[in-house]
Structure 1
Amino acid sequence: MTTYQLGQLQSLEAEAIHIIREVVAEARNPALMFSGGKDSVVLLHLAILAFRPAPVPFPILHVDTGHNFAEVLAFRDRVVARHRLRLLVSSVPEMIEDGRLREPAGSVSRNQLQTSALLDAVNKHRIDALFGGGRRDEEKSRAKERVLSVRDEFGQWDPKDQRPELWSNYNGLLDHGQQLRAFPLSNWTELDIWRYVQERGIELPPLYYAHQRTVFERDGMLFSDGPYLPRGDGEQPRTESVRFRTVGDMTCTGAVRSSAASVHDVIAELRATRCSERGAGRADDRISDTAMEDRKREGYF
């Protein structure tokens, strides 16, 4: 009898596709969080594989802070058109304009407002299961997550109120009012993502690769010079070769100096670095050791 052993990336792919199908089988109205970042791009690619040749049977949801990179929005719209996806957008600027959200005085980043925008979209569209591209290697609160993370009727997360997932058995049944967050990429690493992008020839937004960009330095991080993040005294703009390891609100997403202009170069660079992607590229995660966990308890992804 001939046996066939899956490679590491094939095993991760098969596991993720299995999780996606299981959730869709149980949920009434699922959706997939899509930021245009590499993890959500890979997650969408897996969802397409899971149901082809049929179309993806659920919409994708983008929480728009109004401070997005133009390259990422253009990429998002290309992906939606190419795969004929249904796009839901929950807009933080619209919620501020109509009074549903208040921007704190003196605040620059709108990342903290994403939670309300996300929960508003969940309620508006009656979403009971949301797929996200979170990985356990990203950040310590992510490492506490189950693959299927149960949330209460307010979308809040309690790490002590999660179901065991022994032997990779997943329980997607929900009590009245509960919601589900599903993380099919839980067991992937940043390097796995990039190796998979290389192997499958997946397109990513261009800012993930080295390019010349006008930046300024603040607290040891390089920020893109633009209209959303005012420069302070002494913060002089300069042009450097940079790339982004993570994509988010422009006001808190930092670049890294890099000459990695291809997937091959990025993988080589990652093998040599010892700094996590969020540690290198997210200012809001530097504010507090529990910043992400606090946001997740409030309902953030």
Structure 2
Amino acid sequence: MLRIRHEVGGGPEVLFAEEAAVPAAGAGELLIRVEAVGVTLPTVRKVREGSGPVSFGGEVAGTVVATGPGGSGVAGFTPGERVTGLCFADAYAEYAVLSTAMASRIPAGVGAVEAVALVRSGLVARGAYEAARTEPGESVLVTAAASAVGTLALQYAKAGGAGRVVAAVSSADKADFVRGLGADEVVLYGDADWGGPYDVILDGVGGDLLGPAVRALATGGRLVAFSSGGGTVQAYELLLRGASLIGFQIRAIATGKPALYERWLRELWQLHAAGTLRTAVHEEIPLAEAARAHALIEERRNLGKVVLVP
């Protein structure tokens, strides 16, 4: 099978296509013939910033071809079913191993590319919105609003009755795109005034933008950080506003609160079927051109999800 390999070097130029053996599913795992792979910002950052080779993680969607020990009914999944989920290693390949804890059946009529653009990003957007305890009528700012998660977070905020939904993006050429997904206003990261204060900020960037985001919070505001960008916050900035900083990671929900994870999955598919949540796919890129996919995200040029297609 074709697989993408990373060599240490710190950039997209160190991603190589190679032939590799098809993996085997272990206990509680599914072997998937991959039809689409979602590229995530955390994986892109690991390639750029890591000190060692990266085993690529990402959303995968495809068909179950085998199950691990336990027979054909492992966690209710059987060969031939179409599934999607977050794979933490060796996702950039024609075949991948997926934990049943992270797997979700793809409804009839939904394509693989659409599935990888929806599930993980939609669950992160939903979880971040829930973690903020957002109330109808409150103002919501979404950073990285043109990203896969950001586009769905904007829609969750609108569907949840937010009084004002503002998109923060890196450049003005993304403004029409995010407005089309529900943003009432658009601000740029470099603006001196982010148009606050905001009751809720859903932050998918982190790093140097975390400080300005905290300063844009209203009294009693809540900032939910769900990115892999890190960053430092001065406690005084939170004390000054009586504000809260909350961390969110979807893997913690999937493994620690499986019943909640399953409920969110069901509701996610229902909202998508009803047209409340629309996916945005920037481009479908051949698997062998994974370096180009990483460059799109690293240079902040993507509008929505970047997907690799074996």
Q: TM-score range by the shorter chain?
A: 0.3 to 0.5
Provide TM-score, normalisation by structure 2: 0.35
Q: Greater strand share, 1 or 2?
A: 2
